[in-house]
Amino acid sequence: QVQLVQSGAEVKKPGASVRVSCKASGYTFTDYYMHWVRQAPGQGLEWMGWINPKSGGTIYAQNLQGRVTLTRDTSITTVYLELSRLRSDDTAVYYCARDVGTPPENWFDPWGQGTLVTVSS
């Protein structure tokens, strides 16, 4: 079955960087774009960006430009989120989610289990 498995929780200091991984299985990795979405404690969902696993092309949310980088390793069917210059308001659960459908008729399914990133001094 289609599955996305993310790396474990991280604790980082302000100003540091964090990398979260998302390993995909159960489908052809390069056939589906991958999104990242985050959720601060008690808050709603914030779309962060997407990556085309085939080409490596990326699109980022404007408010994260310059701090977020999405990459992929097709040999191990894994996508990565790197967020730099961390601030306390980056504390959140970070999700990867596969894009399905044909744009603009596209939605996210399935989602990874989430990775908690805590930024604290």
- φ, ψ dihedrals at 47, nearest 5°: -75, 135
Give the range of 23-31, 43-51, 68-76, 77-85 binding other proteins by CB under 8 A. Answer: 43-51
Among 7, 69, 106, 118, binds other proteins (CB under 8 A): 106
Torsion of Cα atoms, 43 then 70 then 68 then 66, to 10°: -150
Shortest spacing between CB 23 and other proteins, in angstroms: 15
Sign of CA dihedral 38, 53, 113, 23: negative
Residue 74 CB, nearest approach to other proteins (Å): 20
Is 46 a residue that touches other proteins (CB under 8 A)?
A: yes
